[in-house]
Amino acid sequence: MTERHEDTKTHGVVLGSMMTGSASIEPLLERLLGGETLSASEQAALFESRDLLSLGMAADQLRRRRHGAQVTFVRVADVALESAAAGEVTWEGSPGEIRITGTPGDLAQAIAAVSAVVAAAGDVPVTAFSLGDIELVAGDVTAAGAWLKALKQAGLSAVAEAPVDGLRSPDALIEAAAAVGLPIARLTVDRAAQADRPALVARVAALVQAHPAIDVFAPLPRTTGGLTPSTGYEDVHMVALARLLVPVHHIQVDWQRYGPKLAQVALTFGADDVDGVSPRDQVTEGRRRSPLEEIRRNILAASGEPAERKALFSRRS
Amino acid sequence: MTALEKAAAGERLTSDEALALYTEAPTQVLGRLADAARARRHPDRVVTYIIDRNVNYTNVCVARCNFCAFYRQVGSADGYVLGFDEIFSKIDETIGVGGGQILLQGGHNPDLPITWYEDLFGAVKARYPDFKLHALSPPEVMHISRMAQLPVPTVIKRLIAAGLDSIPGGGAEILVDRVRKLLHCDGKATADEWLGVMREAHRAGLRTTATMMYGTVETLDERLEHMFRLRDLQDQTGGFTAFIAWSFQPDHTELGLEHGITLEATGVDYLRTLAVARLVLDNFDNLQSSWVTQGGKVGQLSLLFGANDMGSVMIEENVVRAAGAAYCMDELEIVRNIEDAGFIARRRNMHYDVLGDPIFRERDVPRMLSLARARADGDTSVPAELVNYAARSRAGKDARNQRPELTIEE
């Protein structure tokens, strides 16, 4: 099969004459691609635009400038906090990251869980918890800072996530983590109604600019489901706008939470990293969904070059 | 003029040009081209859908296609034939949620003669005069033709007289005999036979759809050959209302379990294939989204890659569900997806005539968040009326003789 040339820019002359959506966003996209920053009203115009293909083409260009064809992915083993704190630490397969899930009741439980998993993990990095949960349970930023220091000392590689819409004092918390040398693996969004998305993306952009060490943003809401789940259009729209408007290195999608098909399509709309790939080599349906084979195949089919990584983007050989 | 320029200008593509776009054009460029082609044909931004029900009247099948997880062999304990009353009940439920049609398809059951179909269609039309029967894919018509030892035009004529309204495009798979041999489906209908049934149906005044199941053993050239054969027939007859592509669902299939084709074609592959189909099939008005196999999210995104129809509200589907696809959307969810993508949602019939606004905005209809099934597990009862039709297989004769009150008159 002939190799696909995914750089959409070269096709712009032909396609420019057949705009079917809101042609008014083209100048805005040109300015973004030229490195300019858009005003709040101009950004709002992009959010209101229905021209998803134009947004996607621009987002894809930006992604390729940063990453070329490379698409990274990480196989993650989830370990429940309660089990880990009780010393019951098991996982299947070959993860590149072990992630402790759940909200700790207190610092002692958190340290017990981290210590147990780190002891079992060997050279696999261990991440844990939401920065929002730590802030909530610790009570304030100062206490949260003490937690973060203790967790670092227990061997934690990174805080698993920082939900932008779940932090009372985001700047102070991020600084507290940085002060003890504990990275934050990704900025996330807990819930994001359509109407809230422009403001939320602006907040993320501001945080990333203020804290350059944060280089991953997972823009799709972590809380999903219900009778009215998000649509594919909403998801891909959010991914494209995150790439266009947030000056962060990695835009991440979650393989398990959003499913292989949507996650793969998101890779053509600005995402460059896939989180949450199952660490198991075999699942219930035999080779039907061998995760490693499936993720590589999906990345290749999206014209990407798959590169497996560990937590915090160290390359996995 | 390059292939890209020709596609952008809406000019007819050659197979080489289509292949160049399929293999080389960036995904979103293909999307833009297909979206423009859709917009030329449907400038009103209307996206249609139909409320109907996919009723599989039997799962007993002698074809034994290796990509199918639905069929059961003759004599299997899991084999079933729906009774007329069960089908009436499903029609009642379909009418209850605003539907006006069933898509009736099933296995190649040797124990169902043409009179069974005629009597069923006649009974449906007697009971529901305005209800539409979109029924019997070309391989089923071929099967009935062989069983009855009647030519296809005669079979079609008799089925129309009994009440057949239109023919679904199932069983096309890939219309290339090399592929059909590998899929063990050349016996049920070769590519020429499938197209021949459709040609005769169009001549008889029926409208039909056309499908493509891809993602098994075919090459991209063969997918395109399939599309070009459909385009050629459409040039001759104009009888196809729509094209529907879906990807092979590997779970529980012989092809998946024993031949190692275990991974489904990807979402990006689907969107690219759909977009190319919109560009190649320049004489087809309508392209359906296969959200049943791709999921609601990619199904919705297909509206940006050439689709202008969201297919059917799902009340019941058994065939791809048996092979792993388990997505379900009711009318409210389909309309939400259409409107969220910036289109106008309209109900349609099989002929793609717009029937009106979403029915749930006119009256209360029950939400359907799970799929109905063809028949409850463990129900091995045999419909009473089957005794009126001579079985050909030993198992069929035995099953009918298990009803002591019934005797089969040979």
pLDDT tens by residue, B340-357: 999 999 999 999 999 999
Q: Across the interface, which of B8, B39, B336 has its CB nearest the CB of A14?
A: B8
Number of H helices, E strands in chain B: 16, 10
Residue in A closest to B26 by C-alpha = A6
In a domain, B35, yes or no: yes
Instruction: Give residues 84 to 113 of A whose Cβ lies within 8 Å of B.
Output: none
Residue A231 domain boundaries: 65-313
In a domain, A247, yes or no: yes
pLDDT over 90, % of chain B: 67
| Cross-chain residue pair B341–A298, CB shorter than 8 Å | no
In a domain, A197, yes or no: yes
- Report, as ranges of residue numbers, the positions in chain A whose pLDDT lies below 50: 1-3, 17, 19-21, 286-288
Q: Across the interface, which of B32, B220, B301 has its CB nearest the CB of A15?
A: B32
User: Residue A282 has what pLDDT?
Assistant: 64
In a domain, A149, yes or no: yes
Please tell me the distance from the alpha carbon of residue A85 to that of residue A79, in angstroms, as a whole number.
10
The answer on pLDDT for B365 being more than 80 is no
CATH number (domain holding residue A212): 3.20.20.70
Range ranked top by mean pLDDT from A241-245, B288-292, B366-370: A241-245
Residue B322's pLDDT band, with cuts at 50, 70 and 90, is low
In a domain, A261, yes or no: yes
pTM (two decimals): 0.88
Nearest to B319, CA basis, from B102, B108, B69, B72: B69
Residue in B closest to A3 by C-alpha = B24
Q: How far is CA A6 from CA A33, A221, B370, in A?
A: 16, 28, 39
Count of domains in chain A? Answer: 1
Residue A160 burial (CB count, 10 A): 25
User: Residue A3 has what pLDDT?
Assistant: 47
User: Residue A227 has what pLDDT?
Assistant: 61
In a domain, A49, yes or no: no
In a domain, B4, yes or no: no
The answer on pLDDT for B404 being more than 50 is no
Nearest to A132, CA basis, from A100, A103, A94, A93: A103
Cα A24 to the center of its chain, rounded Å: 30
In a domain, B298, yes or no: yes
Residue B199 domain boundaries: 21-401
pLDDT tens by residue, B191-224: 999 999 999 999 999 999 999 999 988 999 999 9
In a domain, B406, yes or no: no
| Cross-chain residue pair A15–B294, CB shorter than 8 Å | no
Q: How far is CA A269 from CA A63, A108, A245, in A?
A: 9, 43, 13
Q: Do the beta carbons of residue B352 and residue B143 sit within 8 Å?
A: no
In a domain, B173, yes or no: yes
- Predicted complex ipTM: 0.88
Query: Once rounded to an integer, what is the mean pLDDT over residues B324-342?
Result: 84
Please return the burial class of B101, using the count of CB atoms within 10 Å of its CB with bins 0-12, 13-18 and 19+.
buried
In a domain, A202, yes or no: yes
- Average confidence score pLDDT of chain B: 89
Which has the higher per-residue pLDDT, B71 or A61?
A: A61
Helix (H) or strand (E) holding A81: helix A81-85
Residue B85 burial (CB count, 10 A): 12
Residue B320's pLDDT band, with cuts at 50, 70 and 90, is low
User: Residue A22 has what pLDDT?
Assistant: 52
Please tell me the distance from the alpha carbon of residue B332 to that of residue B74, in angstroms, as a whole number.
39
* Residues 6+ away with beta carbon under 8 Å from A186: A160, A161, A162, A216, A217, A218, A252, A275
- Within 8 A of A194 by CB-CB distance, chain B residues are none
| Cross-chain residue pair B262–A7, CB shorter than 8 Å | no
- Of B15-29, B60-74, B239-253, least confident by mean pLDDT is B60-74
In a domain, A44, yes or no: no
> Which of A9, A22, A53, A262 to probe by mutation at the B interface, max B CB count within 10 Å?
A53
User: Residue A9 has what pLDDT?
Assistant: 55
Please tell me the distance from the alpha carbon of residue B394 to that of residue B396, in angstroms, as a whole number.
5
In a domain, B3, yes or no: no
B258-286 burial string, b = 16+ CB within 10 Å, else e?
eeebbbbbbbbbbbbbbbbbbbbbbebbb
Question: How many residues would you count in chain A?
Answer: 317
| Cross-chain residue pair B341–A231, CB shorter than 8 Å | yes
Please tell me the distance from the alpha carbon of residue A224 to that of residue A257, in angstroms, as a whole number.
8
CATH number (domain holding residue B163): 3.20.20.70
- Of A60-64, A307-311, B171-175, B323-327, least confident by mean pLDDT is B323-327
> Which of A6, A62, A265 to probe by mutation at the B interface, max B CB count within 10 Å?
A265
User: Residue B398 has what pLDDT?
Assistant: 75
Question: How many residues would you count in chain B?
Answer: 410
Q: Across the interface, which of A4, A231, A301 has its CB nearest the CB of B337?
A: A231
In a domain, A280, yes or no: yes
